[in-house]
Amino acid sequence: MLIFKKIFNFYYTGFKEMNIGKQLWIIILIKLFIMFAILKLFFFPNFLKSKFETDEERSDYVIEQLTNPK
Amino acid sequence: MENFDFTLIDWSRAQFALTALYHWLFVPLTLGITFILAIMETIYYKTGNPEWKKITKFWMTLFGINFAIGVATGIILEFEFGTNWSNYSWFVGDIFGAPLAIEGIMAFFMESTFIAIMFFGWNKVSKGFHLTATWLTAIGSNLSALWILVANGWMQNPIGMIFNPDTARNEMVDFWAILFSPTAINKFLHTIFSSYILAAIFVIGISAWYLLKKREVILAKKSILIASVFGLIFTIMTVFTGDESAREIATSQPMKFAAMEGMYHGSSNAPLIAAGILKDDPTVENPKKQDFFFELKIPSALSYMAFLDANAFVPGIYDLVHGNEDQEIMSYYEKIERGTVARNALSDYKLAKKSEDKILADSLRANFEDEEWMNSNFKYFGYSYFDDPHDIIPNVPISFYSFHIMVVLGGHFGILFLGMLFFSLKNKLENKRWLLWVALWTMPLAYLASESGWIIAEMGRQPWVIQDLMPTMTAVSNIDSTSVIITFWLFFAVFTALLIAEIKIMLKQIKIGPNEGGH
């Protein structure tokens, strides 16, 4: 348990004593929010996963695309 | 060709290029400066001189800004693979997925853990442990790059896999062949070494600004000494790996090689265009001798560079399109025919399976297991989508200029490192204000050279997303181009905001300097 407490304290004091790091963490968190909560969720669905249920259907679709592109 | 939606293809390409170019503004500094930090901290560890600790901490702060702003910008590329490039993502199968998964795990465990120790561990862990964390951060970030570049290397020179016609996926059969492919190794080494140059110029440029302002003189002088030695060593290494890469490209991507040199007609004793301005862009149907407003040639150097033989024949664009029997070069017309055989076989196999014609399906499937048939036909699968050789030629001016900008600037960087080192050792740097200004203004040029390197790598291989197997136009998802256009501008806004934030925070921190600026 002591080791976990030491690791926790290491990070806790590290974050607490940050100077410019605080500003950078805000930027990182905003960036990650935009990327995962907005862009990924609303604009970047996985095309094949969202359109088809099984890998077999996905294979058939891609083969169709490759052999008879439209 | 008329079946393809080129609005969708062009915007998908533009979006990917935008994301990759912005992402690459952040990466090379991280790759290089971590090693410079490790060297500086090693000197601190060895000498115990607190000045070196101050220097290390200052550059570590700037590294931290770059890392924080740049981190995760590459994830967007993976979003794009799944949404915009689903045919490609499916077709590459586990070959692309495996290296990227290793990269993800490695980046998370190595970089994240050791970066925390680097920033939070001063005076909390032993000096030796802190130094180890700094070195491991450097090694970890570079190993992350390895996996990305292995995946990219496979796209430029696909090997170590078999194609499964049932799933339309390439399956990895030889991991080591993919990892140690000469294309991947050269690409990795050339990319990281050139990134070290960029980091060295970053350190030298900011130090030069301090000297011009007569501030932080000791920090600036010591930093310049380290960075100029570091930069000089890796300029030499970059020349060697660039030379190896050129040889590799001449063999595996001869069209890219010809476009890089603006070479329409091949020849023996081919000269290297050291510098030049293209006069026009002759077409394959109307070929002219390569024509330059101005050109600086080195006789036979291109033949030697490509094949280590000054007399060797280097094919030009015209030779590759029309073939050259004397040189045993297969024409694009023939490749189109062979690729069409492969595509028809895949199409027939699919129909035979659908109609449950087992005998026909088995005989067609046997083709895909026959190495000779695969090498004769499937190897050219991607050519089947073209009927006009024009469409298989990359943009020659972009290829030519991006390659030459990279090379010329590389020469400039080498001379700069030599000059900085020379005057640094003579302790006369402060008097050479012109050199300090040159060093300062070389900073944006380092980014220009680095981006140019990627432009030649990626634009020079067009129209291929996977060399000879999959052209860009078949790799895209069948989605509405409007959504791609909207996300293009969204990314443009997000990335520009990040870049502005990075520059502003970085400039503020540089102005504060090492004394007050902490992590």
- Asked if residue A4 is part of any domain, the answer here is no
A14 interfacial to chain B (CB closer than 8 Å): yes
- pLDDT score of A14 more than 90: no
Both B338 and B318 in one domain: the answer is no
Both B303 and B280 in one domain: the answer is yes
- Bridge partners (DSSP) of residue B272 are B298
- Asked if residue A56 is part of any domain, the answer here is yes
B123 interfacial to chain A (CB closer than 8 Å): no
- pLDDT score of B43 more than 70: yes
Q: Are B454 and B21 in contact (CB under 8 A)?
A: yes
Q: Which tops the pLDDT comparison, A11 or B258?
A: B258
Host domain of residue A26: 19-67
- pLDDT score of A11 more than 90: no
Determine whether the interchain pair B119/A43 forms a contact, defined as Cβ–Cβ distance below 8 Å. no
- pLDDT score of B42 more than 90: yes
Confidence class for position B136, pLDDT limits 50, 70, 90: very high
Confidence class for position B235, pLDDT limits 50, 70, 90: very high
Strands B272-278 and B470-471: unpaired
Give B82→chain A minimum CA distance, Å. Answer: 5
Select from A15, A46, A66 the Cβ nearest to the Cβ of B474: A66
Which of B119-128, B256-265, B368-377, B510-519 shows the lowest per-residue confidence on average (mean pLDDT)?
A: B510-519
- Asked if residue B268 is part of any domain, the answer here is yes
In whole angstroms, give the CA distance from residue B337 to residue B320: 15
Residue in A20, A23, A33, A52 to test binding to B, most B beta-carbons within 10 Å: A20
In whole angstroms, give the CA distance from residue B146 to residue B185: 9
Give the pLDDT confidence score for residue B515 in this predicted structure: 66
Determine whether the interchain pair A20/B509 forms a contact, defined as Cβ–Cβ distance below 8 Å. yes
Select from B4, B483, B517 the Cβ nearest to the Cβ of A20: B517
CA–CA distances in Å: residue B219 to residues A60, B216, B238: 62, 5, 27
Which of A27-36, B303-312, B455-464 shows the lowest per-residue confidence on average (mean pLDDT)?
A: A27-36
B498 interfacial to chain A (CB closer than 8 Å): yes
- Asked if residue B366 is part of any domain, the answer here is yes
End-to-end Cα, chain B, rounded Å: 55
Q: Which tops the pLDDT comparison, B95 or B30?
A: B30
- Asked if residue B356 is part of any domain, the answer here is yes
Report, as an integer, the average pLDDT of B263-290: 78
- Asked if residue A14 is part of any domain, the answer here is no
Report, as an integer, the average pLDDT of B143-172: 92
- Asked if residue A47 is part of any domain, the answer here is yes
Determine whether the interchain pair B168/A59 forms a contact, defined as Cβ–Cβ distance below 8 Å. yes
- Asked if residue A41 is part of any domain, the answer here is yes
- pLDDT score of B245 more than 90: yes
- Torsion-angle region of residue B324: left (phi > 0), alpha (psi -120 to 50) or beta? beta
A70 interfacial to chain B (CB closer than 8 Å): yes
- Asked if residue B296 is part of any domain, the answer here is yes
- pLDDT score of B151 more than 80: yes
Letter string b/e over residues B21-51, b meaning 16 or more CB atoms within 10 A of that residue's CB = ebbbbbbbbbbbbbbbbbbbbebbbeeeeee
Which residues, including other chains, have CB under 8 Å from residue B472's CB and lie 6 or more apart?
B9, B13, B462, B463, B464, B465
Determine whether the interchain pair A65/B478 forms a contact, defined as Cβ–Cβ distance below 8 Å. yes
Host domain of residue B296: 263-322
Determine whether the interchain pair A11/B473 forms a contact, defined as Cβ–Cβ distance below 8 Å. no
- Asked if residue A10 is part of any domain, the answer here is no
pLDDT, tens digit (0-9, with 9 covering 90-100), for B190-228? 999 999 999 999 999 999 999 999 999 999 999 999 999
Both B315 and B277 in one domain: the answer is yes
Confidence class for position B516, pLDDT limits 50, 70, 90: low
- pLDDT score of B519 more than 90: no
End-to-end Cα, chain A, rounded Å: 61
B340 interfacial to chain A (CB closer than 8 Å): no
Confidence class for position B517, pLDDT limits 50, 70, 90: very low
Give the pLDDT confidence score for residue B72 in this predicted structure: 79
Both B317 and B343 in one domain: the answer is no
Residues of A in contact with B473 (CB under 8 A): 69
Query: What's the mean pLDDT when you consider all of chain B?
Result: 91
Count of structural domains, chain A? 1
Give the pLDDT confidence score for residue B71 in this predicted structure: 81
In whole angstroms, give the CA distance from residue B227 to residue B219: 12
Determine whether the interchain pair A67/B65 forms a contact, defined as Cβ–Cβ distance below 8 Å. no
State the complex-level ipTM.
0.86
Residues of B in contact with A6 (CB under 8 A): none
Select from B166, B343, B477 the Cβ nearest to the Cβ of A67: B343
- Asked if residue B142 is part of any domain, the answer here is no
- pLDDT score of A35 more than 80: yes
Report, as an integer, the average pLDDT of B106-128: 84
- Asked if residue A37 is part of any domain, the answer here is yes
Is the pTM above the cut of 0.90?
Answer: yes
Helices then strands (H, E): number in chain A? Answer: 4, 0
- Asked if residue A48 is part of any domain, the answer here is yes
A vs B, Cβ pairs < 8 A, gives 124
Both B274 and B299 in one domain: the answer is yes
B346 interfacial to chain A (CB closer than 8 Å): yes
Q: What percent of chain A has pLDDT over 70?
A: 97
Select from A28, A40, A62 the Cβ nearest to the Cβ of B79: A40
B75 interfacial to chain A (CB closer than 8 Å): yes
- Pull the structure tokens for residue B229: 């030695």
- Pull the structure tokens for residue B201: 């110029």
Count of structural domains, chain B? 2
Query: At CA B429, angle to CA B424 and CA B432, rounded to 5?
Result: 140
Three-state DSSP string of B54-120: HHHHHHHHHHHHHHHHHCCCCHHHHHHHHHCCHHHHHHHCHHHHHHHHHHHHHHHHHHHHHHHHHHH
